C-alpha cells in the first residue's frame, strides 16, 4: 500500500482554510486506504458510527445528524444515499411529519463492526506519524475552534 503521507510537500499558503483542507484530505486518504478492505470509506464509517448512537433512546434525525457532523442537510442526504442503497442504513419516519430518522440496519451494524479494527489501525497510524501529544493537542484545538465558530457571538467577529 502506498504511503499517503509521503505524496507531496505540505501546502505553503498562508490561508488557514487551505491548510486545514489539505490536512483533512491527507488524513482522509490515510483512513480510506486503511479501511479499503472493509468496503467503507471513512465518511461512511463515521456516518454509521454517529447514526448508531441514538440520542435520548431514538435514532437521530437527518437534521440532528447534520448538526452533529457540522454538515448541511443536502450534503448529508447525498452521503446517506449509497449507504441506504447498500442496505446499511434506512430512513424511517421521524417524530413529526417533516423529519426522517436515520436507522442503522443489521447489515450496517455488521459493516461497522467489521471496519472497527481497521479504523483503530488508522487512528494509531495518525498518532504514530503525528505524535500522540501533538494529535491530541490538534484535536483539542479543533474542538475549541468549532465551538467558537458555532457561537453566534464570535462567529461574526
- CA 47 to chain CA centroid, Å, is 6
pLDDT of residue 8: 58
pLDDT of residue 85: 97
The candidate with the shortest Cα–Cα distance to 84, out of 65, 68, 71, 57, is 65
- The SS3 call for residue 19 is helix
Q: The domain 15-146: what is its CATH number?
A: 1.10.10.10
Phi and psi, residue 55, nearest 5°? -100, 125
Give ∠ CA 119-120-123 in degrees, rounded to 5.
Answer: 90
Q: How does pLDDT run across 47-62, given as a tens digit for each residue?
A: 999 999 777 778 999 9
Q: Grade residue 14 by pLDDT with cuts at 50, 70 and 90.
A: confident
Structural domain boundaries of the chain? Answer: 15-146
Tell me the pTM: 0.84
Q: Grade residue 5 by pLDDT with cuts at 50, 70 and 90.
A: low
How many angstroms separate the most distant Cα atoms in the chain?
50
pLDDT of residue 96: 84
Amino acid at each position: 500500500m502506498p504511503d499517503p503521507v509521503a505524496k507531496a510537500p505540505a501546502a505553503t499558503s498562508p490561508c488557514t482554510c487551505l491548510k486545514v483542507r489539505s490536512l483533512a484530505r491527507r488524513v482522509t486518504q490515510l483512513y480510506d486506504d486503511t479501511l479499503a478492505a472493509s468496503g467503507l470509506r471513512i465518511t461512511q464509517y463515521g456516518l454509521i458510527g454517529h447514526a448508531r448512537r441514538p440520542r435520548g433512546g431514538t435514532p437521530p434525525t437527518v437534521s440532528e445528524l447534520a448538526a452533529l457532523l457540522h454538515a448541511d442537510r443536502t450534503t448529508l442526504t447525498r452521503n446517506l444515499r449509497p449507504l441506504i442503497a447498500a442496505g446499511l442504513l434506512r430512513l424511517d419516519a421521524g417524530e413529526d411529519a417533516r423529519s426522517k430518522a436515520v436507522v442503522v440496519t443489521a447489515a450496517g451494524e455488521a459493516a461497522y463492526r467489521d471496519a472497527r479494527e481497521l479504523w483503530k489501525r488508522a487512528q494509531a497510524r495518525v498518532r504514530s506519524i503525528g505524535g500522540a501529544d501533538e494529535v491530541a493537542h490538534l484535536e483539542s484545538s479543533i474542538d475549541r475552534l468549532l465551538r467558537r465558530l458555532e457561537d453566534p457571538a464570535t462567529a461574526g467577529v
